[in-house]
Each structure stands twice: as C-alpha cells, then as structure tokens.
C-alpha cells in the first residue's frame, strides 16, 4: 500500500526545514499541516517522467555515474539508521535482556543485579536483521503503481530495521519509569496498544508505569494527575473502545514537556498518535538529546486514515473499513428501497482516501467513490451529478461514498484550524447532498436522497480481531525498541513484517492513494464509475 517514491535526501531536506521551526507542539502540528498542503500535488504520481525530472533536479542524482546505486544505498542506510542512546552516551553499557520467554516467572522487584535467566533462548532479533521495504520489481515507469527511483526503473534494494526483542538492553528495569500518552482523535485499538505496552513492560520487570491523561496536555495541566498502570488495571480495557487515558489535540511547548519528563523522572515515553503527534515526539527526542537526558521516546502510529508513510497499514484502519460497511449497507437499503433512491455516505480521510476506497471495494454496493487524491467535477456533462442521473435512469438507485477531504476545492475555504493545526474542512457530504437534491429538482426528476455520516460511531468502536493482533504486536515491539536503547523511532508493519523507522522518515508528508495503483484501479472496476473531469 506504500505509494511514494523513496529518494535520497528529499524527505530529510523537508524535515530539516520543518523541525527548524518547531517551538511548541501546537505550532509544529500547524506547520506540518501547511507542509502537507504544499506536498500533496508534488507527490501525486500521475506522470512518472515529470516526477523523475523533479527528483533529479532536487537531489542532484547523477544517473550516468556507474556507482549511483551504491551511493543511493549508502544514503538510504544513513537516513534509515535508528537513533540510539549511545549516540549521546557513547559509554552507555548494555546488559543481558530480562525478556526471556523460557523463564517460568516474570522478573521480580528483587533483582540483585543478576539479569541472567540461566537459560539460552533463540527468540531474539539481531541488530543486523532487516526487512525489505519494497518487494515488486516494476520493469517500466508506466507499470501500474510503479515506484521507480530512476527513469530506467532500476531495482535497488532498500532495507529497514526489523523490530523485536534484542539480546542486550540499555535500561535496568528497576530504574525505569515508563509513561504512555495518547494524542489526537479517537481510533479503534488505542486500549489494545496501551494494554500490551503495560504487559510487556512488566514482563521486562518494570514496576513504575503511568499514563499521561488527555494527550500532551497532561504534561502541563496541573489538575491532570498521572494514572498508575499495571496489568491488573489494563487487563480488560481492550474490550471497549476509546482510550483509557483520554485524548486531546495540541498541547504545551516541547521544552515544557521535557521539563515535565525530568520532574517526573520518566525515562521511557510511548507516544500514540498520527503525523502531527509524531512530529512532536521527534521534537521531544531532539530536546532530550540536546539536554543529554537518557530518555527513550518511541512512537506508535495511530491514524484511522492509514496515511502514515512506509507502512502496510496502521491500527484501527481494518476496524474502520469493517464498521463502514454498516453505514454503506444502510445507505444501499435506503436507496434500493426508495423510488429513485440515492444514498450518500461520508467516511473519514482528510488527505488520504484509503478508508473510502477499501470500504467501496469491500461492500460491492458503491457506484461512485470520491477521494481527495482524485479531483472531480460535480456539475457538467462529465460530472458526478450527470453520472448519478444516468444511474437513476438505468438502474433506479445509486450509492455514493465520499472521503471527508475530497472535493474541498468545491467548497468555500476558511482559515480556521483545530488545536492540532489542521485546517478545518468544509462538509463535502452535506454539500453533495444539497447539490444532488437541487440538480434533480432542476431537471424535474424525482430523487430520494439519504445522507449518512458515521464518523464518530466508527472512531469509538473497539478493535476487531485483525486490528487486535496488529495492536498487540505494535505495543510489544514498542517496548522492545525502548529497551534496545532506540529513541526517536516508530514501529510499523512493512510487507507483513514488523520494522522500526526513524520518525523523521515517516512524517515528511502523508501517504496518499496513488491514482495509478492497482488498488484504485480495482476500486474503479468494482464501482464502474467514469472519470469525473
């Protein structure tokens, strides 16, 4: 599902510009949002030749250099190297891991400095283990979904670090105070990830675990107290939706958060959130390095929109697609049961149309799918409304699925932003509903239009089985990464394997649906819709 081209230095350059201005989390999220807006058009891969020329001029890749592939690999390895506490504390010593599944009982508070379980176990991950980022060799830039590094579409291996427990750790469990914070909006699976982080920390031997209430706000609001966490507290929280810790957008400045970390004695911070939250987490990591504080900051990507770079999917996405089926089915029944019925369903997706696309594919009941990445006309001979008229005349009903970020160019723009700095979107669903009613009335054709917006019902659901497994593994691997001494990283699933990524490499811009991808073509085949331009 990865949709962008990995190129030398491009993301790093963008992130350098972005982080240079980070003063507070609210500001960083706001500037991230502006960066997104600028990047959407440059990363929509509709003309590979144009993209290649842009990349060549921006990155000064000399494809005539016989060693360009080796230089590319070296640059890629440098960019995807995982930040480690030994970067700041070169004398930091490691010790035998307290995580060993052959032990009969978990580590107790009484360590006596002896971490050796006395048993050999072959379940550890080597620091040199890698996961292949891309698995398809596109022989031509014109291949559907082609992700090419150069105009010749040469194959260049790109490896990222495999996630999992290491044989040696860099934190003594009895000296760890771990904190978990959930930021942004709600998403199915938040409680599942919290639960697994707590359980895995306890298996390592950590006894002091707290939750920071209501996102980054909990670091500065004196009225919000830490929430003590243990296996007993989190045992059944995955059975309900929402977040045990609560969520919020925005928050205090980075310096204030790091001050709070020092005051509280927190040396492991697990941050669950999307792109803006991860930008904040990376800024916290940078500030800790600047102050020479031994803190491991680990991100767990949380976005129901599935718009995080490099990852197959993010937790909550499968549940969202599954729950969206209920709304689509209701819209279909309403439309199918009415004379000239039209059902309109608005789903989440500010900048990426993955939920709308996958939901349309899964349901098999959608006639028109509209996403932010593919522009469309509502009026005119090739517009959506003209096609709806054709559907009403030919089959008697129609169902439309639209992502919330689609068609924003058709709406009156505002300069309002939410506390995270995201631009407030116009309601494209209501707009299409009204325009559809007006269109059919003007053409003297009866139309029974029903509109459904299940956004908050979907967000508040508990995770389904697929997401439950994903959340479990992500939570466990987040803890493994922290004890391995990494910081400023995030964990995700890549080509069905779990991997660690530097945060800087996943937040440069959102992952978008590639209009030339096979998955979008499959969606178009399923709906039978034409181009609406």
All structural domains of the chain with their residue ranges: 73-109+119-312+463-509, 317-461
Under the banding of pLDDT at 50, 70 and 90, the label for residue 509 is: confident
Report which of 445, 348, 459, 352 is spatially closest to residue 398, judged by C-alpha positions: 445
Query: Can you give the pLDDT at residue 351?
Result: 92
CA 395 to CA 397: how far, in whole Å? Answer: 6
Q: Is 416 a catalytic residue?
A: no
- pLDDT over 90 percentage in the chain: 77
> Is 292 labelled as part of a ligand binding site?
no
pTM for this model (two decimals) = 0.88
Average pLDDT, the chain: 87
Does the 317-461 domain belong in CATH 3.40.640.10? no
Query: Can you give the pLDDT at residue 107?
Result: 55
CA 352 to CA 369: how far, in whole Å? Answer: 13
Query: Can you give the pLDDT at residue 109?
Result: 54
- pLDDT over 70 percentage in the chain: 85
CA 268 to CA 261: how far, in whole Å? Answer: 9
Contact call for residues 480 and 164 (beta carbons, < 8 A): yes
Kindly tell me if the per-residue pLDDT of 202 is higher than 60. Answer: yes
Query: Can you give the pLDDT at residue 26?
Result: 45
Query: Can you give the pLDDT at residue 61?
Result: 78
Q: Are strands 208-212 and 177-182 parallel, antiparallel or unpaired?
A: parallel
**Average pLDDT value for residue range 243-269:** 96
Mean pLDDT is lowest, of 26-35, 356-365, 428-437, for: 26-35
Query: Can you give the pLDDT at residue 111?
Result: 55
> Is 185 labelled as part of a ligand binding site?
yes
Q: Which one of 192, 305, 318, 367 is the catalytic residue? A: 305
> Is 250 labelled as part of a ligand binding site?
yes
Q: Which residue has the higher pLDDT, 533 or 279?
A: 279
> Is 305 labelled as part of a ligand binding site?
yes
Give, for 494, the enclosing helix (H) or strand (E).
Answer: strand 489-494
Contact call for residues 406 and 353 (beta carbons, < 8 A): yes
CA 391 to CA 367: how far, in whole Å? Answer: 8
Report which of 82, 183, 94, 180 is spatially closest to residue 488, judged by C-alpha positions: 82
CA 20 to CA 31: how far, in whole Å? Answer: 11
> Is 277 labelled as part of a ligand binding site?
yes
- Render pLDDT for 99-158 as a digit per residue (tens, 0 to 9): 988 765 555 555 545 555 556 788 999 999 999 999 999 999 999 989 888 888 999 999
Kindly tell me if the per-residue pLDDT of 493 is higher than 90. Answer: yes
For 475-486, the DSSP string reads: HHHHHHHHHTTB
Number of Cβ atoms within 10 Å of the Cβ of 115: 17
- Asked if domains 73-109+119-312+463-509 and 317-461 share a fold, the reply is yes
Cα–Cα distances (Å) from 49 to 53, 69, 141, 149, 150, in that order, read 6, 19, 8, 11, 9
CA 326 to CA 452: how far, in whole Å? Answer: 11
**Average pLDDT value for residue range 320-330:** 97
For 177-218, the DSSP string reads: EEEEEE-SS--TTHHHHHHHHHHHHHHHT--EEEEESSGGGG
> Is 348 labelled as part of a ligand binding site?
yes
CA 176 to CA 93: how far, in whole Å? Answer: 15
Can you name the residues that pair with 182 across neighbouring β-strands? 272
Mean pLDDT is lowest, of 72-81, 295-304, 306-315, 416-425, for: 416-425
Q: What backbone phi and psi angles, to 5 degrees, belong to 521?
A: -60, -40
Kindly tell me if the per-residue pLDDT of 25 is higher than 70. Answer: no
CA 307 to CA 43: how far, in whole Å? Answer: 13
Does the 73-109+119-312+463-509 domain belong in CATH 2.40.10.500? no
Q: Which residue has the higher pLDDT, 65 or 5?
A: 65
């Amino acid at each position: 599902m990865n949709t962008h081209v990995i190129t030398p230095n491009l993301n790093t350059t963008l992130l350098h510009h972005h982080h240079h201005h980070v003063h507070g989390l609210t500001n960083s999220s706001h500037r991230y949002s502006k960066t997104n807006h600028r990047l959407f058009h440059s990363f929509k891969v509709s003309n590979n030749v144009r993209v290649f020329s842009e990349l060549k001029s921006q990155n000064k890749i000399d494809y005539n250099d016989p060693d360009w592939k080796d230089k590319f690999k070296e640059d890629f390895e440098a960019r995807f190297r995982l930040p480690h506490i030994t970067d700041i504390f070169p004398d930091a010593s490691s010790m035998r891991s307290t995580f060993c599944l052959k032990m009969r009982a978990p580590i107790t508070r009484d360590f006596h400095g002896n971490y050796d379980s006395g048993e050999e176990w072959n379940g550890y991950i080597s620091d040199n283990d890698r996961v292949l980022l891309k698995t398809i060799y596109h022989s031509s830039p014109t291949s559907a979904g082609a992700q090419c590094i150069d105009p010749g579409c040469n194959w260049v291996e790109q490896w990222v670090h495999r996630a999992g427990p290491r044989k040696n750790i860099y934190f003594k469990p009895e000296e760890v105070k771990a904190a978990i914070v959930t930021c942004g909006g709600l998403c199915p699976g938040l409680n599942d990830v919290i639960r697994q982080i707590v359980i895995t920390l306890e298996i390592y031997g950590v006894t002091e675990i707290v939750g920071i209430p209501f996102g980054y706000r909990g670091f500065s609001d004196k009225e919000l107290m830490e929430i003590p966490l243990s296996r007993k507290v989190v045992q059944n929280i995955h059975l309900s939706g929402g977040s045990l810790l609560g969520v919020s957008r925005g928050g205090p400045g980075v310096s204030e958060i790091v001050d709070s970390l020092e005051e509280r004695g927190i040396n492991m911070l697990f941050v669950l959130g999307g792109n803006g939250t991860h930008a904040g987490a990376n800024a916290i990591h940078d500030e800790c390095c600047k102050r020479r504080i031994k803190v491991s900051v680990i991100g767990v990507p949380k976005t129901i929109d599935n718009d995080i770079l490099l990852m197959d999917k993010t937790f909550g996405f499968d549940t969202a697609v599954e729950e969206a089926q209920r709304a689509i089915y209701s819209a279909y029944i309403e439309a199918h049961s009415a004379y000239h019925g039209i059902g309109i369903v608005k789903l989440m997706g500010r900048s990426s149309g993955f939920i709308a696309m996958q939901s349309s594919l899964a349901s098999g009941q959608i006639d028109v799918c509209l996403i932010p990445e593919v522009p469309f006309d509502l009026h005119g001979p090739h517009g959506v409304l003209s096609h709806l008229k054709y559907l009403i005349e030919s089959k008697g009903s129609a169902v439309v699925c639209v992502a919330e970020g689609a068609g924003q160019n058709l709406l009156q723009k505002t300069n309002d932003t939410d506390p995270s700095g995201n631009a407030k979107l116009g309601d494209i669903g209501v707009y299409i509903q009204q325009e559809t009613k007006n269109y059919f009335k003007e053409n003297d054709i009866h139309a029974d239009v029903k509109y459904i917006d299940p956004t908050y019902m979907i967000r508040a659901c508990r995770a389904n089985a697929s997401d439950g497994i994903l959340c479990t593994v992500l939570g466990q691997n987040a803890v493994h990464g922290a004890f391995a001494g990494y910081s400023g990283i995030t964990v995700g699933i890549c080509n069905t394997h779990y991997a660690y990524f530097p945060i800087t490499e996943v937040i440069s811009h959102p992952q978008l649906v590639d209009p030339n991808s096979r998955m979008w073509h499959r969606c178009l085949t399923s709906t039978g819709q034409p181009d609406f331009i």
